[in-house]
Amino acid sequence: MTDPSRAFDDAMRLLSRRWAADVVRVMLAGESSFGGVARALPGATDRMVALRLRELAEHGLITRSEVGPGPHRVRYELTEAGRALSMTLREIERWGRQYSHLLAGTS
């Protein structure tokens, strides 16, 4: 059995990496291509988006697959583990809106 505090720390370490939770959130909204994810995160560089997609795939939150012949096209999909973050990320967003006055200056 995994120590609960270790599980929490491991999850937070992964999701608190710059743009990681944002990539999952964008994919929960339906984006599945690199370009779609990158366009939805205008502050992130292409290199950072690629790095986060790769890391999230390595950790089993998304899958990466080549799409059809021709030009190099890749499609990303959330795994069950990635989709399971939906309610958690929505609640964090709700909490952030409700308590935004406490978060001023944290960026």
Tell me the whole-structure pTM to 2 decimals.
Answer: 0.87
The predicted pLDDT at position 105 comes to 78
Rg (the chain; Cα; Å): 15
- Domain ranges for the chain, please list them: 10-103
Q: What is the pLDDT of residues 36-93, one digit of tens each?
A: 999 999 999 999 999 999 999 999 999 999 887 767 788 999 999 999 999 999 999 9
Domain 10-103 is of which CATH architecture?
Orthogonal Bundle (1.10)
Interatomic CA distance for residues 100 and 83, integer angstroms: 26
Long-range contacts of 48-56 (CB under 8 A, 24+ apart): 48/18, 48/19, 49/19, 49/23, 52/17, 52/18, 52/19, 52/20, 52/23, 53/23, 55/14, 55/17, 55/20, 56/20, 56/23, 56/24, 56/82
Interatomic CA distance for residues 60 and 22, integer angstroms: 16
What 3-state class would DSSP assign to 10? helix
Q: For residue 78, which of 17, 14, 28 has the smallest C-alpha distance?
A: 28
Asked whether the predicted pLDDT for residue 104 surpasses 90, the reply is: no
The dihedrals phi and psi of 53, each to the nearest 5 degrees, come to -60, -45
